[in-house]
Every structure is written in structure tokens, then in C-alpha cells.
Amino acid sequence: MGADERAVGSQLNLDAVLDRCRCGDELAWESLVRSYQSRVYGLAYHYVANREDARDLAQDIFVKVYKNLRKCPDANHFLPWIFRIARNASIDHLRRKRARPPSSQVSEMEVNSIADCSSDPEKHWLMEARRGLFRRALRMLTRLNREMIILKEIQGLTLEEMTGILDVPIGTLKSRSHRARLELAEKVLALSQGQEGAGL
């Protein structure tokens, strides 16, 4: 359970919030958006790798969620449900964008992680640089391995939840899980050794 869900849980049960959202309660909807916006934005960013695009995409994802609130399952399945919408929207976005590639790549350092609000700027910079390395390595993986890392290792979904999102048998996911982690570690190692070799 992330910080966002804890915030919802501490004030109001997620099931109750969803029920009130379905009845058109704007305050409940605002609470839901505030609770999940960083997770949805984070997921969209890992797919599209661009801050502005990810923000627009996250907004579209929430509009889709709002329009489909009646189809929304119970609280236990809400996170996989919203991630499935986010993932499909991200893939659609990437398909649309494939025809017109981005004019400039946003620096990895521009992305601010909520998890790290360290007061030490140097430590914060080093950690963010290291995360940037992980993001670059993530983009070097195959699509399935990348999605495995995004959904399982970053977003913390279970393999059972991921089968519904990726439409891949659970056996395939199990065998892929360790391979994806290992591949990512190898890429990170190669990138960091390359940086050290370049004197960075």
C-alpha cells in the first residue's frame, strides 16, 4: 500500500469513496484524484518518458476513470483496474506519437520523485541521478520486460493482478519476472561502467 492509499484509508474507506464517487459526490472524486494522481502520473511517465506528455496523459486517464466509474470494481481491484486503463491509454498514446517523434527529450533530472524529499541537496541529486540511470536502463529493455518492471517492481502489483492487465499467462510472468530484473541490473551496470569510463 502506497502513501496515497494510506491517505485515503486514514480518512475514509476506499469502497465508501468509490460509492460516493459513483453517486456524483465531487468531494469524494477530488479525494480519489489526489490519492492516486502521483501513482498514475508515475506510471504514465514510465511509459511515455516525457513529463508534459505524461501529465496530459494522466489527466486523460482520470477523465476515462470518471466516465467509467460505474464499471469500477471494488476497492481490492481498484488499483489494477486504474492501472489497466492507464496502461492502455499510454500504449495508445505511444502508438499515436510514433508517427511524430518528440522534438526534445526532457532531462531525467527534471522529474521529482515524491518518495525522496531529502533536505540534503547533494544526496538528493545523487539519488535522482541513480534513478535516472535506472530509467534509462528501463527503456533499453524489451516491452514485456519493461512492463514487468514497471508494474511489479515499481508499482508493486502481484503476478495475478498483472495477468489481467497484460493478458499474459501467469506462468509466463513468473518465468519472466526474474529475467527482467536481471536484465535491468545488467543494463544499469553497463551504463554505470560506461559513465565511469567516460569520467562522469
Partner 1 sequence: MSCSDLAERLELVLGEQLRDNELTALKAHVEGCEKCRDLLQACRGKQTLEQADSLVGEVLARTSGSTCSRVRSMLCDHVDQSLHEDNAALVQEHLNYCSSCTQLARVLEESAVALPQMASLDPGPLFTSSVLAATRSSQPPDKWALFLSHLSLVFQRPHFSLEAAYVGALLVFLVFGGAPVSAVGGVASAAFAGFQLNFAKVVRDTPAGLSDTWTDLYGSCENQLEGKIKATQGAVGRALETLQGSAEQLRAMSDEHLLKHAAALFQDATEKYEEYSRNLGSTEGSEDRPEETAE
Which residues contribute to the site for partner 1 (CB under 8 A)?
Answer: 2-4, 22, 24, 26, 29-30, 33-34, 37-39, 41-42, 45-46, 54-55, 58-59, 62-63, 66-67, 69-70, 111-116, 127, 130-131, 134-135, 149, 153-156, 177-178, 181-182, 184-186, 188-189
39 or 84, CB closer to partner 1? Answer: 39
- Mapped onto helix, strand or coil, the DSSP state of residue 68 is coil
Least gap, CB of 172 to partner 1 (angstroms): 16
Number of Cβ within a 10 Å radius of residue 85: 20
45 or 99, CB closer to partner 1? Answer: 45
Least gap, CB of 168 to partner 1 (angstroms): 19
99 or 136, CB closer to partner 1? Answer: 136
CA distances to 13, 24, 31, 64, 195 from 28, rounded to whole Å, are 11, 8, 5, 17, 47
| Single-letter amino acid code for the residue at 183 | E
Least gap, CB of 46 to partner 1 (angstroms): 7
Contacts of 149 (CB under 8 A, 6+ apart): 138, 141, 180, 181, 184
22 or 77, CB closer to partner 1? Answer: 22
Measure the CA angle with vertex 146, ends 141 and 150; round to 5°: 145
Least gap, CB of 31 to partner 1 (angstroms): 10
- Dist CA 104 CA 111 (whole Å): 15
Least gap, CB of 28 to partner 1 (angstroms): 12
Q: What is the distance of C-alpha 115 from the center of its chain?
A: 13
154 or 168, CB closer to partner 1? Answer: 154
